[in-house]
Amino acid sequence: MSIKISQLECNDIDVVTQLYIDVFAQQPWNENNKYDDIRRYIERLNKMNTNHCYLYKQDDQIIGAALGFVKPWHQGIEYQLDNFFVSPAFQKKGYGSEFLKAIKADMHKIGVGNIILETNKETPAEYFYLKHGFLSETNTRGLTLVCAVH
């Protein structure tokens, strides 16, 4: 069994799109994503010159992906982890932990000080990230707001 972490390439986008849809259709997310919407999102993210999108492969089969990008902030550079997902067949077996550990190491190598992300409260994802050193910022003055621009 060979495990490999690599950068997302254009020829991987179809497989990653389907994996994204499959993972987020499961509990607790229950999302009903459209293939074209997710594919377009991944393509756009992958075209960013600051993207750091990773694949997690076992024997050349993509079993996970991390979609994100680096960006400046007033205390240095941070990595915005937009989406992190592992195939349901490989969840709760340590693969996600190893994948995240490798991403943290890669970010450290390029001088990134923090990884930031958003997830739903009281979900397995929240507990996973807390277990891996992420701290909740819910008690700070910060607030995530979203506004449509149409």
pTM of the model: 0.90
Domains recognised in the chain with CATH numbers: 3-131 (3.40.630.30)
The DSSP output letter for 36 is H
The DSSP output letter for 116 is E
Per-residue pLDDT of the chain in tens (150 residues, 90 and over written 9):
678 999 999 999 999 999 999 999 999 999 999 999 999 999 999 999 999 999 999 998 999 999 999 999 888 899 999 999 999 999 999 999 999 999 999 999 999 989 999 888 888 998 999 899 988 876 555 556 554 566
The C-alpha atoms of residue 8 and residue 2 are separated, in whole angstroms, by 18
